[in-house]
Structure 1
Amino acid sequence: MLFAISFIWSLHIAGISERDLVNQGGWNLVWRFVVAAIHPELSREFLLLTLNASLKTLAYAVCSTFFSILIGLIAGVLSSEVWWSIGNNQTPWLFGRGILAFPRAIHELIWGLFLINIFGLDPLVAILAIAIPFGAITAKVFSEILDETPRQPLLALLNSGASPFSAFVYGLFPQAFPNLLSYSFYRFECSIRSAAVLGIIGAGGLGYQLLLSLQSLRYEQMWTLLGALIILSGSTDFGCTWLRDRWGLPSRLDLNVLNFQQHRKLLQRDSVFISILAAIILFIFSFWYVQADFSKLWQVRSYERLATIIQIALPPNTSQLNQLFTLATRTLAMSILAIASAGFGGIILAFLAARNFVLPQGILSDATKSSQLHLTFLRWGVLLCTRFFLLFIRAVPEPIWALIFLFVLFPGILPGAIALGLHNLGILGRLMAEVVENLDQRPLRSLQAAGATNPQVFLYGVLPSTFPRFFAYILYRWEVCMRATVIVGIVGAGGLGRLLTEQLSSFDYNSLLTTLIVFVILTFIVDLISASVRKTLR
Structure 2
Amino acid sequence: MSAPTRLTVARDAGGRAGRWRPPGGGRGWAVVWMLAVVWSLGGWLVADGPVVNASGWSRFAEFFAAALSPQLSTDFLLRTGSAALSTLSYAVLGTLLAVVVGLVIGVLVSETWWAAGTGATSHRGVSRVGWLLTRLALAVPRGVHEAVWALLLLSVLGRDPLVGVLAIAIPFGAITAKVYAEIIDESAGDAYAALRAAGARRGPALLYAVLPTALPDLVSYAFYRFECAVRSAVVLGMVGAGGLGFELVLSLSGSRHAEVWTLIYTVVVIGAVVERWGSGLRRAGGAARSRLSAVAVLGLVLAALVHLGPSLSRVVSFRTAELLAGLVAEMFPPSLPEGGWSRLLEGALVTLQMSLVAGTVAAVAAVAVAFVAARGGTTPAHRSAGMLARWLLLLTRSLPPPIWALLFLFLLLPGPLPGALALGVYNFGVLGRLCAEVVENLDRRSHDHLVATGAPAVSAFAYAVVPQAGGRFLTYGLYRWEVAVRETVVVGIVGAGGLGRLLEDQRVAFDLDAMAGTVLALIVLCALVDLISATVRGSLRR
Q: 1:456 to 1:178 in 2, by over 3 A?
A: closer
Q: Which moved more, 1:5-14 or 1:143-152?
A: 143-152
- Paired letter, 1:279: V
CA-to-partner distance for each residue in 1:472-523, whole Å, 9 max, x for gaps? 3221211111111111111211110011122123221221122122211111
1:220 aligns with 2:258: yes
- Paired letter, 1:295: S
Q: Is the Cα contact below 8 Å between 1:113 and 1:504 reproduced in 2?
A: no
Whole-angstrom CA distance in 2 between matches of 1:83 and 1:466: 23
- Paired letter, 2:161: P
Q: Is the Cα contact below 8 Å between 2:372 and 2:382 reproduced in 1?
A: no
Q: Is the Cα contact below 8 Å between 1:343 and 1:474 reproduced in 2?
A: yes
Please tell me the root mean square deviation across aligned C-alpha atoms, in Å. 2.9
Secondary structure of 2:222's counterpart equals: helix
Q: Which moved more, 1:415-424 or 1:13-22?
A: 13-22
Kindly report which structure 2 residues correspond to 1:510-529, keeping only aligned pairs within 5 A, or say none.
Answer: 510-529=513-532
1:178 aligns with 2:215: yes
- Paired letter, 2:81: L
What is residue 331 of structure 2 aligned with on the other side?
313
Q: 1:16 to 1:125 in 2, by over 3 A?
A: farther
Q: 1:151 to 1:5 in 2, by over 3 A?
A: closer
Q: 1:446 to 1:246 in 2, by over 3 A?
A: closer
- Paired letter, 1:178: L
Which residue among 156, 174, 177 is the counterpart of 1:139?
A: 177
1:42 aligns with 2:72: yes
Whole-angstrom CA distance in 2 between matches of 1:131 and 1:36: 35
Q: Is the Cα contact below 8 Å between 2:139 and 2:523 reproduced in 1?
A: no
What is residue 372 of structure 2 aligned with on the other side?
352
Q: 1:143 to 1:447 in 2, by over 3 A?
A: closer
The share of aligned pairs that are identical, in percent, is 42
Q: Is the Cα contact below 8 Å between 1:124 and 1:293 reproduced in 2?
A: yes
Q: Is the Cα contact below 8 Å between 2:182 and 2:475 reproduced in 1?
A: no
Which residue among 400, 406, 410 is the counterpart of 2:409?
A: 406
Which residue among 249, 261, 271 is the counterpart of 1:211?
A: 249
Alpha-carbon deviation of 1:231? 0.2
- Paired letter, 1:421: G
The one of the two structures with greater contact order (alpha-carbon pairs below 8 A, sep at least 6) is 2
1:105 aligns with 2:143: yes
Whole-angstrom CA distance in 2 between matches of 1:428 and 1:142: 16
Alpha-carbon deviation of 1:221? 0.2
Alpha-carbon deviation of 1:389? 0.7
CA-to-partner distance for each residue in 1:446-468, whole Å, 9 max, x for gaps? 44345444445445554455444
Which residue among 89, 93, 97 is the counterpart of 1:67?
A: 97
1:335 aligns with 2:372: no
What is residue 380 of structure 1 aligned with on the other side?
383
Q: 1:182 to 1:481 in 2, by over 3 A?
A: same
1:243 aligns with 2:281: yes
- Count of equivalent residues: 496
Whole-angstrom CA distance in 2 between matches of 1:69 and 1:437: 22
Q: Is the Cα contact below 8 Å between 2:366 and 2:431 reproduced in 1?
A: yes
Secondary structure of 1:492's counterpart equals: coil
Alpha-carbon deviation of 1:349? 1.2
Q: Is the Cα contact below 8 Å between 2:89 and 2:307 reproduced in 1?
A: yes
Alpha-carbon deviation of 1:11? 0.1
Alpha-carbon deviation of 1:312? 2.2
What is residue 370 of structure 1 aligned with on the other side?
none
1:189 aligns with 2:227: yes
Q: 1:92 to 1:433 in 2, by over 3 A?
A: closer
TM-score by length of structure 2 reads 0.83
Whole-angstrom CA distance in 2 between matches of 1:294 and 1:416: 37
Kindly report which structure 2 residues correspond to 1:88-103, keeping only aligned pairs within 5 A, or say none.
Answer: 90=127, 95-103=133-141
- Name structure 1 gaps, 5 residues minimum: 248-265, 361-375
Whole-angstrom CA distance in 1 between matches of 2:469 and 2:270: 30
Kindly report which structure 2 residues correspond to 1:390-469, keeping only aligned pairs within 5 A, or say none.
Answer: 390-458=393-461, 461-463=464-466, 465-469=468-472
Q: 1:158 to 1:389 in 2, by over 3 A?
A: closer
What is residue 506 of structure 2 aligned with on the other side?
503
Which residue among 12, 30, 33 is the counterpart of 2:63?
A: 33
Q: Which moved more, 1:137-146 or 1:198-207?
A: 137-146
- Name structure 2 gaps, 5 residues minimum: 1-30
- Paired letter, 1:354: A
